[in-house]
Amino acid sequence: MISRVVIALAGAATLASCAGPARLTPGPHLTVAAETALPPPTRTDLAAQERPYRIGAFDKLAISVFGIPELSQTVQADASGRISLPLVGAVEAAGKTPEELAADIEEQLRGRYVRNPQVSVNLDETVSQVITVDGQVREPGLYPVIGRMTLMRAVATARGTTEFARLNDVVVFRTVGDQEMAALYNLSAIRRGLYPDPEVFANDVVVVGDSSARRLFRDILQAAPLITTPIIAYFSNRP
């Protein structure tokens, strides 16, 4: 089966065209599409996680049972996404929101152990929903994704770019289903409001100022080097 790489390109210069969309010359590995943004990952792509936050394997959770301090503790989900609590035993946590898990614990405590339990669950630490930020940033690494995160916020989480970072060479890698995708962005253009700050998701990889990542877009840049709006292209039969 032919694998396809979806490329979303967002440049910063003025498009040298008076009217209509930008024209790219189709090549053997290039098919221009009408989309203007990378599609978001599906729930399966995110390992059963979506907004609001859903618990994953090895997440650390702070569980509090009002009025019963001996039942309040910080626990870590195991590889299968389960936690273990006094009186309750093993509880399936993976894929649930903290609110849903709190309701499950309340249900298991109610009647048998506590008349009217009030349970709260808060995320203490996550390793299941992370984004990778690499390249010319001050602190490359893995960073948790809690709630909504954008490209600018992801770079800021890595303590910003280095002094000589190439802000027009920011690539976001993503997988949706069996399709690998990449998007080239210009942080300076986003800061100036030329196009929106795109949302990024868990499992995305953000690479700042890396020329090898930018080479993915070589054919598009040669065909239309002056681009001001996002362009989606499908690459098939890539060598």
Domain count, the chain: 2
From 125, 158, 178, give the residue that closes a domain.
Answer: 125
Residues 6+ apart with CB under 8 A from 218: none
User: Does the pLDDT of residue 79 top 60, yes or no?
Assistant: yes
Confirm whether 65 is domain-assigned. yes
Same domain (yes/no): 116, 216: no
Instruction: Give the residue numbers spanning the domain of 66.
Output: 60-125
- In 3-state terms, what secondary structure has residue 2? coil
Say which CATH number the domain at 167 has: 3.10.560.10
Cα separation, 39 vs 37, whole angstroms: 6
Last residue of a domain, one of 106, 125, 144: 125
Alpha-carbon distance 225 to 22, whole Å?
Answer: 10
Residue 236 predicted with pLDDT over 80: no
163 in any annotated domain: yes
What is the amino acid identity at position 34? Answer: A
Q: Is residue 118 in a domain?
A: yes
Q: Is residue 50 part of a domain?
A: no
Q: Are residues 90 and 203 in the same domain?
A: no
Q: pTM for this one? A: 0.57
Find out whether 178 and 223 touch, Cβ atoms under 8 Å. no
Nearest to 46 by CA among 198, 202, 174: 202
Residue-wise pLDDT for 110-129, tens only, equals: 877 788 899 999 988 877 77
